[in-house]
Amino acid sequence: MSSEHQDVRLLLGAYVLGALEDADSGRVQDHLSGCQLCRGEVAELAVLPQLLRRRSTSTMTGSTRTSATGATSSTRPGSTALLALGALLCLAVTYIHLADQGGYPPSGWFPGDTDPQYIKIGYYLLEAGGVAAALLLLLRRRLGWVLALPIAAGPFIGYVLTRTTGLPDATDDKGNWVGTLGIASLIVEALLFGLAWGQLRRPAD
């Protein structure tokens, strides 16, 4: 029995999958009637076809889903999560600069104030641009990433200049690197720039 058992054992997988020729299939059935071990093995293997079927179904739904999103992303600038992150960072730049010029309650009122005048105007442009870029990103417009670049780089450069050489009529902050808001803005702007740059450099699909 043992050599027949060994032979048949090797056929059990194919038997369960229905892949055996009639002769072999009959041989397996004959053996099964007298071999409890093999019957047990067949019982265990019997779940395989179901698993395979379930797996191929889910693979098919998965690939359908992939191609659906693939089709979507070919007309869209980046994944929803990255667009949302970009929008959030743009709004953070706006928020930080509003806060820096006391432009929101309770410490101040919109739109806030800064000296000198040209920096105040720069802040306002930046804040409006941050909101505009966030909206464009939420609307899935590639232009949002383009606008995000100067919104990230502009205040970053301004921050460094006011801390090093100073800007005309703006020398108070020379050497003042440690403000929490300033550090937060540098981090947010660096992240935003990296993200926008990465998204714009992606091959247009």
Name the site residues for Zn ion (rule: CB under 5 A).
5, 35, 37-38
Minimum CB distance to Zn ion, residue 3 (Å): 11
Q: Under a CB-based contact definition with an 8 Å cutoff, are residues 143 and 95 in contact?
A: no
Minimum CB distance to Zn ion, residue 19 (Å): 19
User: Cβ closer to Zn ion: 1 or 204?
Assistant: 1
User: Cβ closer to Zn ion: 36 or 75?
Assistant: 36
Minimum CB distance to Zn ion, residue 78 (Å): 58
Output the DSSP codes for 185-205: HHHHHHHHHHHHHHHHHSPP-
Minimum CB distance to Zn ion, residue 37 (Å): 5
User: Cβ closer to Zn ion: 38 or 134?
Assistant: 38
Q: Under a CB-based contact definition with an 8 Å cutoff, are residues 122 and 129 in contact?
A: no
User: Cβ closer to Zn ion: 37 or 157?
Assistant: 37
- Vertex 156 angle, CA 194 and 97, to 5°: 110
Q: Where are the beta strands (DSSP E) in the chain?
A: none
Minimum CB distance to Zn ion, residue 69 (Å): 49
**Residue 60 vs residues 49, 52, 67, 169: alpha-carbon distances, Å:** 16, 12, 11, 65
User: Cβ closer to Zn ion: 31 or 97?
Assistant: 31
For 199, the token pair is: 């998204």
For 158, the token pair is: 């301004």
d(CA 86, CA 90): 6
